[in-house]
Amino acid sequence: MSWKERVIGIEELRPYLPNKSEPDFRGLVEGLAEQQLATWPMLRDAVAGLARVEYKGLRVRGSEVLAQFNPQRIVSTGAKVDAAAIKQRPCFLCAENLPPEERGIAFGADFVALYNPFPVLPRHLVITSRRHIPQAIEGNFGTLLDLALDLGGEFFVVYNGAACGASAPDHLHFQACERKSLPIIREVDTWKGRSLSNDSGVETFTLKDYRLNALITRGNNRAALIEWFDRALQRLAEITGAESEPMINLVVTRDGGRWTVIVFPRGKHRPDRYFAEGDAKLTVSPAAIDLAGVLVVPQPDHFAKITSRDAEEIYAEVTLNKTVFDTWLRSE
């Protein structure tokens, strides 16, 4: 099945749309949810499963973290993402390998929005490139901003770097979910910030004594944000000695006429305890949503035992340490 066949046209979607007017992208995404829930049992089961996930509230240095017991996510958390394993498996983001019932909405000429059959949060979308090209943010950051704009204020959008939690590092894609339960989005507005700069329509700041080192930028000028991001990424690559893309996760929201971009520079992909044996083992593999405060724990015994202290250690371990982070900020 090609993308042409996968992408659902407005006429086919019409019975699932709430009214007769011409819907925008957001409206089509809503209609797609109805169509997919009606015709794709796997997604229906997954969404029902999401309603049953359990949460455990943790406090990490005063910040809210929700540990989420979500057994469906073992597929992603436990995914082998080394080059050999990736080469051997059929790519699950290529049109010909998707389940037959899976349909999508075109996003621009190059991307298709699909519903994720392994959701972490409600309305979990995967926005995949029509081409099987490697996961990379260079040249695609503008698309991420456009996606946040077109989905609107109820969503957040995500980029997971190829070596930072993306389970398809070989196929360019973004994700999006409903934003209301994501702790960091509230905390960005309420936590004590440290302003770094505010010029050319781009404001940058960090959160003081926060549970991890994140750089936040805000602005309403798309071109200025892209220019800022490209420079910041380049400097991060230099400072961390990255040969290709530096390790990052991104969360982007859009409201009040401006974008907010949260950049999580990474120190490593998976914490040591992911690979530990026995009691010390904790199957947690952080990507953007985990860093943003919904920490997915697919194993029941690991969910039962995880503490605020464990979460604090994991965040510190997989994000960029303060010395290198501060060097990066000073290079602004």
Of residues 97 and 331, the one with the C-beta less far from Zn ion: 97
Q: Per CB under 5 A, which region of 83-91, 229-237, 270-278, 281-289 contacts Zn ion?
A: 83-91
State in angstroms the smallest separation of the CB of 119 from Zn ion. Answer: 20
State in angstroms the smallest separation of the CB of 98 from Zn ion. Answer: 10
Of residues 97 and 220, the one with the C-beta less far from Zn ion: 97
Interface positions, 167-196, toward Zn ion (CB under 5 A):
171
State in angstroms the smallest separation of the CB of 165 from Zn ion. Answer: 17
Of residues 94 and 136, the one with the C-beta less far from Zn ion: 94
Q: Per CB under 5 A, which region of 165-173, 205-213, 222-230, 275-283 contacts Zn ion?
A: 165-173
Q: Is residue 108 within 8 Å of 146, Cβ to Cβ? A: yes
Dihedral sign of CA atoms 36, 42, 48, 51 in order: negative
Q: Which of 29, 36, 67 is nearest to 150 (CA)?
A: 29
Of residues 132 and 281, the one with the C-beta less far from Zn ion: 132
Q: Is residue 310 within 8 Å of 203, Cβ to Cβ? A: no
Question: Which residues does 224 contact at the CB level (< 8 Å), separation at least 6?
Answer: 200, 201, 202
Q: Counting contacts by CB under 5 A, is residue 91 touching Zn ion?
A: yes
State in angstroms the smallest separation of the CB of 96 from Zn ion. Answer: 9
Contacts 24+ apart (CB under 8 A), 52-61: 54/303, 56/303, 56/306, 58/295, 58/306, 58/307, 58/308, 58/311, 59/308, 60/211, 60/308, 60/311, 60/312, 60/315, 61/209, 61/210, 61/211, 61/312
Interface positions, 6-65, toward Zn ion (CB under 5 A):
none
Tell me the Cα Rg of the chain. 19
Using alpha carbons only, give the angle 55, 93, 114 rounded to the nearest 5 degrees.
Answer: 60
Q: Counting contacts by CB under 5 A, is residue 106 touching Zn ion?
A: no
Q: Give the residue carrying structure tokens 């960005």.
A: 188
State in angstroms the smallest separation of the CB of 95 from Zn ion. Answer: 8
- Two structure tokens written together for 331: 């290079």
Of residues 173 and 211, the one with the C-beta less far from Zn ion: 173
Residue nearest to Zn ion (CB): 91
Applying CB under 5 A, the site for Zn ion has a residue count of: 5
Going by the DSSP 8-state scheme, the letter that residue 192 receives in this structure is P
Of residues 93 and 251, the one with the C-beta less far from Zn ion: 93
State in angstroms the smallest separation of the CB of 130 from Zn ion. Answer: 10
How many residues are given for the chain? Answer: 332
Q: Is residue 296 within 8 Å of 290, Cβ to Cβ? A: yes
CA distance 141 to 289: 18
Q: Counting contacts by CB under 5 A, is residue 268 touching Zn ion?
A: no
User: Which residues, in sequence order, are bridge partners of residue 68?
Assistant: 55, 296
State in angstroms the smallest separation of the CB of 269 from Zn ion. Answer: 20
Of residues 94 and 316, the one with the C-beta less far from Zn ion: 94
State in angstroms the smallest separation of the CB of 321 from Zn ion. Answer: 34
State in angstroms the smallest separation of the CB of 138 from Zn ion. Answer: 19
Q: Counting contacts by CB under 5 A, is residue 132 touching Zn ion?
A: yes
Chosen residue from 67, 93, 162, 288 binding Zn ion by CB under 5 A? 93
Of residues 97 and 307, the one with the C-beta less far from Zn ion: 97
Q: Counting contacts by CB under 5 A, is residue 235 touching Zn ion?
A: no
How far from 290 is each of 50, 53, 119, 217, 296, CA to CA, in Å?
16, 15, 13, 20, 6
Of residues 163 and 214, the one with the C-beta less far from Zn ion: 163
Q: Counting contacts by CB under 5 A, is residue 94 touching Zn ion?
A: yes
Residue type (1 letter), 189: D
Residues near Zn ion, by CB under 5 A? 91, 93-94, 132, 171
